[in-house]
C-alpha cells in the first residue's frame, strides 16, 4: 500500500509533538497510575514496590485529614472565583472595545497583569496588604452584608471584596481572548439592529453574548485549569509535600494527584454541560 504524500508530510510536521506526547504525557500517565496502586519506598537498594491495590486511594480519603478540608475550600473558592473572573474579564474587554480616548494607554495598563502576575510576586503583594483596597471601609461593608444575607454567604462576599484585586489580576489572558473575539463581531450587525430599534442593552444580549459564547466556554476552562494548577493552590503543596514524605511517598502522592484530577475533571464536565451548544436551538 502506498502512503499518501499528504499523510507523510502531516505526520512529519507533527512528529515532534507526537514524540513528546507519547514520551512526556502518555507514558508518565500510565506510570503514575501504576505508582498509585503501589506502596513505594525509597530504600538503599533502590525503589521498592509493594502492590496494594486501591488502598492508596482509600487512604487519601480516610487517612489524610487535610485533603478533604483543602479540597472543600478549593471547590467553594473556585466555584465563586471562576464566574467572577470571567464576568469581570468580559466587562473589561467590552469597556476596552469602546471607542474611548487613550485606548492604547488603557490597554497597556490592563494587560499588565499578564506580564507581572506570578506566584511569588502576588504572594508578596498579598502579604503586604497591597491587594486590599484601603479606601473601602471593611467594617461598614461587613455589617451591611451581614444584615442582608445569611452569615456564611456574607462571609463569602466579604472574602470576595478582600480578594478583588487578586481576582482582577488573574484575568489578564481572559480579557485578551474576549477582546479579540469582540473585535471580530461584524459592526454591520449592530448597525442593522440599531436601525430596527434595538437598544444597546438588547444588542448585548442578542448579538454580543451569543457570538462570544464559545469564548466564554474557553475562558471558563482556562480559568479553572489555571486556578487548579497554580502554585498558590494548597492542594498542590499537599501533593508536593507527600511526594517527599518518608511514610507516604510517591504511591500515596500519585493517588492523591489522581483523585485531584478526577475532581477537576468533574468540574470541567459541569462547565461543559452548562455551556455546551444546544444543537436544536441553533439557527445556522
What residues between 82 and 121 interact with another protein by CB under 8 A? 91-92, 95-96, 98, 100, 104, 106-121
Half-sphere exposure of 68 (CA within 13 A, CB side): 9
Binding mask 133-162 for another protein (x = CB under 8 A): x-----------------------------
| Residue 217 CA from chain centroid, whole number | 11
- Choose the binding region for another protein from 13-21, 50-58, 59-67, 76-84 (rule: CB under 8 A): 13-21
For another protein, the binding residue among 85, 86, 227, 239 (CB under 8 A) is: 239
CB of 151 to another protein, least distance (A): 28
d(CA 226, CA 233): 10
Q: Which of 177, 216, 220, 227 binds another protein (CB under 8 A)?
A: 177
Contact 239, 249 (CB under 8 A): no
Can you tell me which residue has the cell 471607542? Answer: 99
Grid cell listed for 145: 452584608
Nearer to another protein, 65 or 135 (CB): 135
| Locus of grid cell 497583569 | 113
Q: Which residue has the cell 454567604?
A: 153
Sketch the per residue contact string, 42 through 81, with another protein: x for CB under 8 A, - otherwise.
----------------------------------------
74, three cell numbers? 478549593
| Of residues 22 and 148, the one with the C-beta less far from another protein | 22
Contact region with another protein (CB under 8 A), list: 70-78, 143-151, 250-258, 274-282: 250-258
Q: How far is the CB of 62 from another protein (least distance, A)?
A: 20
Would you put residue 83 in left (φ > 0), alpha (ψ -120 to 50) or beta? alpha
- Compute the distance between CA of residue 60 and CA of residue 251 in angstroms, rounded to an integer: 11
- Candidate segments 29-37, 52-60, 69-77, 276-284, binder of another protein by CB under 8 A: 29-37
Our finding on whether 225 is near another protein (CB under 8 A) is yes
* Helix, strand, coil share (%) of the chain residues, nearest 5: 75, 5, 20
Q: Which is nearer to another protein, 21 or 54 (CB)?
A: 21
DSSP states along 14-56? HHHHHHHHIIIIIHHHHHHHHHHTEEEEEETTEEEEEE-TTHH
Is 210 a binder of another protein (CB under 8 A)?
no
Using rule CB under 8 A, residue 194 touches another protein: yes
Amino acid at each position: 500500500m502506498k502512503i499518501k504524500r499528504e499523510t507523510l508530510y502531516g505526520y512529519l510536521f507533527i512528529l515532534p509533538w507526537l514524540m513528546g506526547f507519547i514520551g512526556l504525557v502518555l507514558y508518565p500517565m500510565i506510570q503514575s497510575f501504576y505508582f498509585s496502586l503501589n506502596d513505594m519506598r525509597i530504600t538503599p537498594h533502590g525503589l521498592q514496590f509493594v502492590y496494594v491495590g486501591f488502598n492508596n486511594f482509600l487512604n487519601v480519603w480516610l487517612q489524610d485529614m487535610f485533603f478533604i478540608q483543602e479540597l472543600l475550600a478549593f471547590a467553594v473558592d473556585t466555584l465563586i472565583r471562576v464566574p467572577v473572573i470571567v464576568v469581570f474579564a468580559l466587562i473589561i474587554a467590552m469597556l476596552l472595545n469602546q471607542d474611548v480616548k487613550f485606548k492604547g494607554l488603557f490597554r497597556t495598563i490592563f494587560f499588565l497583569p499578564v506580564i507581572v502576575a506570578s506566584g511569588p510576586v502576588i504572594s508578596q503583594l498579598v502579604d503586604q496588604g497591597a491587594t486590599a483596597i484601603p479606601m473601602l471601609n471593611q467594617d461598614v461593608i461587613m455589617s451591611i452584608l451581614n444584615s442582608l444575607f445569611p452569615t456564611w454567604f456574607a462571609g463569602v462576599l466579604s472574602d470576595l471584596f478582600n480578594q478583588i484585586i487578586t481576582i482582577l489580576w488573574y484575568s489578564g489572558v481572559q480579557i485578551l481572548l474576549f477582546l479579540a473575539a469582540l473585535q471580530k463581531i461584524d459592526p454591520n450587525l449592530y448597525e442593522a439592529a440599531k436601525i430596527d430599534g434595538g437598544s444597546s442593552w438588547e444588542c448585548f444580549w442578542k448579538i454580543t453574548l451569543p457570538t462570544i459564547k464559545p469564548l466564554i466556554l474557553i475562558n471558563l476552562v482556562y480559568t479553572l485549569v489555571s486556578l487548579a494548577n497554580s502554585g498558590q493552590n494548597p492542594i498542590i503543596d499537599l501533593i508536593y509535600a507527600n511526594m517527599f514524605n518518608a511514610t507516604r511517598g510517591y504511591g500515596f502522592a500519585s493517588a492523591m494527584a489522581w483523585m485531584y484530577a478526577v475532581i477537576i475533571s468533574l468540574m470541567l464536565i459541569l462547565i461543559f454541560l452548562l455551556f455546551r451548544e444546544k444543537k436544536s436551538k441553533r439557527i445556522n
